Every structure is written in structure tokens, then in C-alpha cells.
């Protein structure tokens, strides 16, 4: 059999068994033949065996073995072609890899620096013929629809998520979901504002990473942690984001949050220090949904810049008046009558080469001036007395420039939350979890 015939046999024009997939029909997309599952693998295997990769074709050399291995692993689970897509995990596997991997394989074989031999040309023609015959390969919308279907099934039937990640539904076993696929589905849930689903999927994925699973995945544990932190943030729980990304100190509560706020967000925060920009940003307290105090006192966020030699003397954040007292004339209009600053968030928005740390001299604690570092503490004890141990200061900047953002939580909306303990000296074991959270339109 000649090269062209062998390739066309691999592409498989006849005898295809047809099946529909979640998401395809919903978007009026033609169904896709299951027999195409092996085309990519057979074409790449044939091409590599007949025409060895030359040294100059580094992209093809690095990519083809991984694509081939992935296809071979997936095909080991296919079995009966007619039954394969009836499993929602299989259906998602197929759509995900065809939509994402087939174009990569095509562009890899037909790279600009690669000489198009006979088999590569034949594969290119066959690839476009498949697209024309089936009105294109599955699209991003199709993969999103398949992910939505998987989430819907889990939400309705509440099957064990650990088993589902392992490819198990009831007594049926198939290829496990990869870390990339799980992350894709979880992010799809977040995009749909299904934060409950996104939380559970990301939490289980994060647990597995901590247990050493997915060690060969291209997805890092940092990527998963940041995705889970983002879900916490959208739920109005940014303190959980900080706790997740590294609990740093316990009294006051510090957390280091590396690269959590995007460069764009940080730039906007820095720009907001200019009065011309005014309220261009959303608070770190939550971008889409805000906590109660954010709607009551949205002006109570400060962005400060310290140049070389810039510092802040030791001080306390409380203003010295309570919610039942008359508002201070100097208070901002948004915050009048909202009480004192019961808690503080502080975020570093830039790195400082030398100096600029925030220190708490009475408890001998320090937060270095590192981009993404953050600290949270209560300014009052549970019994209502001011906690003077939270006195803090900003050390002088020796080299560099320091940008820092402060967010203060006022008393209003928090009155029944952080209640007194059994004795007046009780300390906090749970911190910002006690604060009032409320969805706002």
C-alpha cells in the first residue's frame, strides 16, 4: 500500500460510526465520527517512522512524542466505539483533545521551517478534507457545552467527585480526567458563576496536587492554588485566598499572596493614587460581589506611594470613636456614622529592593515589602477593647519605590458577628471568617 493510501486509511473516509456529544447538538454543530479518534495518532506514527525528524525541526521533535503518547493512552480506554461517547467523561475527553490537540498536530507537522514531504502534504489535504466534510472541527463553544454537561450531571446526581476524577461512574471505568481537563471544567463553572461547583472541583484538584499526584502535568500547583483563591475572592472571602496561598503569621494574621492580583489590577491601584483617576478600581475585598462594608464605606481604601526615604511613623489604625458616637467632621461622606476601624487589610502592590517593610514592634513581627504580600489583623479584641499590640510602622525605603494599599473594615454591618468569648481575654482562633458576608446587586 502506497503512502497516500496508508494515510487515507488512517484518516478513515468510510465505515465511520456516528454519535452525538453533549454540547454539539445544543449549538447546531454536526456530529463527529468516532472513528476519527485514531487519525491523528496513525498519521503522526507513520510520518515519524517514514520520515525521521531532522535536527532543525525542533518544534516537531519536541511536540510529536507527547501528542502521540497522549493519543495512545486515550485509545486504550475506547473499547467499543459505539459505547465510548455514551460516557460523559469520554465525550468530554474526545471533544477536548480534538478541539485543542488536532490543530496543534497539524501546525506542528506543517511548520514554517519544516519541509513538506509527501506524507505531510497528504495529511494536510486530509485534514482540510475532514474539516470540509464535517463543516469544521469541534469549536470552543462545543467544548464549553461538554463541560457544562459534565457539571450539570455532577450537580444533579452528586456522584463521588474523587471517583469521577478517576474516571469512575457507578461500575463503569474509563480514562481519568487530566489536571488540565479538571482545571478547564472548574474554570468553566467559575465563568458561569457556579462558584459552588468551581470550589469543590478546585479543592479536590488542589488536594491531589498536595498529595503528589499530577506530577507530570503541565499545570502547576500554583496555578491551581490561584484558581481556587480566585473562587474564594468571588465568594467575598479574600482572607481565605490569603490563607490558602501561605499562612505566614498568626498574631496579627499575615499571609503572603504571591502574584495574586494581576498586573492590570495592580496598575489600576497605583493609578488610583492620582486624584484624576478617583474610583476606578474595585476593592481587593472582592471584584464582582462586595462585602457589606464595601457598599457602606467604599471610600475607605487608600493607595500610598513611598519614594526613597519614605516611611510611616508607629501608629494605630482606630480613629478613637465608636458607631454610637457622633461622626467625625473629618470622616469621608461614605463612612460617616459607620463606626471605627475594627480590622485592617494591607496589600503590597510592588517590590522594594531594600527597606520598606511594615513592622509591629510590640509583638516583634515584620512583613517584607514584596509584591503580593498582604497582612490582615483586628484592631479590637473580642471584648471590644482596642488591641494596642497592633501598633505598626512603615520602615524607610532605601532602594526602590513602595506602593501599598490599605482597606479598613468599619463597625457597621458587623455588630452581631465577632462576639465576645466566654471570658474577656479570649483570643481569636478564626479571623475574618467571622465578618459579615452579604451578596450585593
Residue 407: closest CA among 315, 287, 310, 293: 293
- Alpha-carbon distance of 431 to 242, in angstroms, equals 12
- Judged by DSSP in three states, 400 sits in strand
Q: Which set of grid coordinates corresponds to residue 403?
A: 506602593
Which CATH class, in words, describes the domain spanning 251-434?
A: mainly beta
- Judged by DSSP in three states, 281 sits in coil
Q: Which helix (H) or strand (E) holds 393?
A: strand 392-394
The pTM of this model reads 0.45
E strands within 287-330?
301-306, 312-315
- Judged by DSSP in three states, 276 sits in coil
Task: State the DSSP code for 16.
Answer: P
- Alpha-carbon distance of 228 to 232, in angstroms, equals 6
Under 8 Å between Cβ of 233 and 287: yes
3-state per-residue secondary structure call for the chain: CCHHHHHHHHHCCCCCCEECCCCCHHHCCCCEEHHHHHHHHHHHHHHHHHCCCCCCCHHHHHHHHHHHHHHHHHHCCCCCCCCHHHCHHHHHHHHHHHHHHHHHHHHHHCCCCCCCCHHHHHHHHHHHHHHHHCCCCCCHHHHHHHHHHHHHHHHHHCCCHHHHHCCEECCEECCCCCHHHHHHHHHHHHHCCCHHHHHHHHHHHHHHHHCCCCCCCCCCHHHHHHHHHHHHHHCCCHHHHHHHHCEEEECCEEEECCCCCCHHHHHHHHHCCCCCCCCCCCCCCCCCCCCHHHHHCCCCEEEEEECCCCCEEEECCCCCCCCCCCCCCCCCHHHCCCCCEEEEEEEECCCEEEECCEEECCCCEEECCCCCEEEEEECECCCCCECHHHCEEECCEEEECEEEEEEEEECCCCCCCCCCCCCCCCCCCCCHHHCCCCCCC
The pLDDT score that the predictor gives to residue 80 is 53
User: Which residue carries 463553572 as its cell?
Assistant: 189
The pLDDT score that the predictor gives to residue 232 is 87
Per-residue pLDDT of the chain (441 residues; tens, 9 = 90+): 443 333 233 333 323 332 333 333 333 333 333 344 444 444 434 434 433 444 334 444 455 555 556 666 666 656 555 566 667 888 888 888 877 777 777 777 776 666 777 767 776 777 777 677 666 777 888 888 889 888 888 887 888 899 999 988 888 888 889 999 999 999 999 999 999 999 999 999 999 988 889 888 888 888 888 899 889 888 877 778 777 765 333 334 333 333 333 333 444 444 444 443 333 333 444 433 333 334 444 446 788 888 666 788 899 988 877 666 666 665 555 565 667 888 888 888 988 888 888 999 998 888 888 888 888 888 888 778 888 888 999 988 877 788 998 888 877 766 666 677 676 666 654 444 444 333 222
What is the distance, to the nearest Å, from the Cα of residue 421 to the centroid of all Cα atoms in its chain? 36
- Residue intervals in the chain for CATH 2.60.120.620: 251-434
Residue 391: closest CA among 403, 375, 379, 401: 379
Task: List Cα–Cα distances, 413 to 38, 341, 409, in angstroms.
Answer: 60, 12, 10
Instruction: Report the chain's terminal Cα–Cα distance, integer Å.
Output: 67
The pLDDT score that the predictor gives to residue 256 is 37
Spell out the residues 6+ positions from residue 29 whose beta carbon is closer than 8 angstroms to its own: 23, 135, 138, 139, 141, 142
Amino acid at each position: 500500500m502506497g503512502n497516500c493510501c496508508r494515510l487515507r486509511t488512517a484518516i478513515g473516509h468510510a465505515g465511520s460510526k456516528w454519535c452525538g456529544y453533549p454540547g454539539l447538538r445544543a449549538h447546531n454543530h454536526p456530529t463527529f465520527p468516532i472513528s476519527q479518534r485514531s487519525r491523528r495518532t496513525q498519521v503522526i506514527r507513520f510520518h515519524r517512522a517514514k520520515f525521521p525528524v531532522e535536527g532543525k525541526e525542533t518544534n516537531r521533535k519536541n511536540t510529536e512524542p507527547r501528542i502521540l503518547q497522549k493519543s495512545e493512552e486515550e485509545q486504550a480506554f475506547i473499547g467499543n466505539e459505539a459505547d465510548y461517547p455514551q460516557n460523559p467523561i469520554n465525550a468530554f475527553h474526545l471533544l477536548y483533545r480534538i478541539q485543542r490537540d488536532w490543530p496543534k498536530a497539524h501546525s506542528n507537522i506543517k511548520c514554517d521551517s519544516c519541509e513538506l514531504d509527501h506524507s505531510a502534504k497528504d495529511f494536510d489535504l486530509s485534514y482540510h478534507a475532514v474539516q470540509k466534510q464535517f463543516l469544521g472541527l469541534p469549536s470552543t463553544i462545543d467544548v464549553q457545552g461538554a463541560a457544562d454537561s459534565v457539571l450539570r450531571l455532577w450537580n444533579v446526581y452528586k456522584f463521588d467527585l474523587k471517583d469521577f476524577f478517576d474516571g469512575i461512574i457507578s461500575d463503569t471505568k474509563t480514562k481519568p480526567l487530566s489536571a488540565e481537563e479538571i482545571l478547564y471544567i472548574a474554570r468553566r463553572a467559575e465563568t458561569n458563576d457556579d462558584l459552588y461547583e468551581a470550589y469543590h472541583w478546585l479543592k479536590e484538584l488542589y488536594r491531589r496536587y498536595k498529595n503528589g499526584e499530577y506530577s507530570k502535568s503541565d499545570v502547576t500547583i500554583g496555578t491551581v492554588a490561584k484558581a481556587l483563591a480566585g473562587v474564594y475572592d468571588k465568594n467575598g472571602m479574600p482572607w481565605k485566598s490569603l490563607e490558602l496561598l501561605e499562612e505566614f503569621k498568626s498574631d496579627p494574621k499575615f499571609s503572603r499572596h504571591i502574584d495574586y492580583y494581576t498586573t492590570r489590577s495592580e496598575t489600576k491601584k497605583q493609578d488610583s493614587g492620582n486624584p484624576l483617576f478617583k474610583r476606578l478600581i474595585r476593592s481587593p475585598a472582592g471584584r464582582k460581589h462586595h462585602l457589606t462594608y464595601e457598599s457602606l464605606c467604599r471610600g475607605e481604601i487608600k493607595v500610598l506611594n513611598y519614594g526613597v526615604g519614605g516611611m510611616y511613623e508607629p501608629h494605630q489604625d482606630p480613629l478613637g470613636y465608636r458607631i454610637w458616637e457622633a461622626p467625625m467632621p473629618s470622616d469621608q461622606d461614605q463612612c460617616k456614622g459607620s463606626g471605627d476601624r475594627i480590622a485592617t487589610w494591607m496589600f503590597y502592590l510592588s517590590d522594594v529592593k531594600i527597606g520598606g517593610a511594615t513592622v509591629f514592634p510590640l509583638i516583634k513581627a515584620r512583613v517584607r515589602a514584596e509584591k503580593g504580600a498582604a497582612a490582615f489583623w483586628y484592631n479590637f479584641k473580642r471584648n471590644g477593647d482596642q488591641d494596642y499590640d497592633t501598633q505598626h510602622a512603615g520602615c524607610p525605603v532605601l532602594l526602590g519605590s513602595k506602593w501599598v494599599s490599605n482597606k479598613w473594615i468599619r463597625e457597621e454591618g458587623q455588630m452581631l458577628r465577632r462576639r465576645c468569648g466566654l471570658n474577656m481575654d479570649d483570643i481569636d482562633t478564626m479571623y475574618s471568617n467571622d465578618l459579615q458576608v452579604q451578596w450585593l446587586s
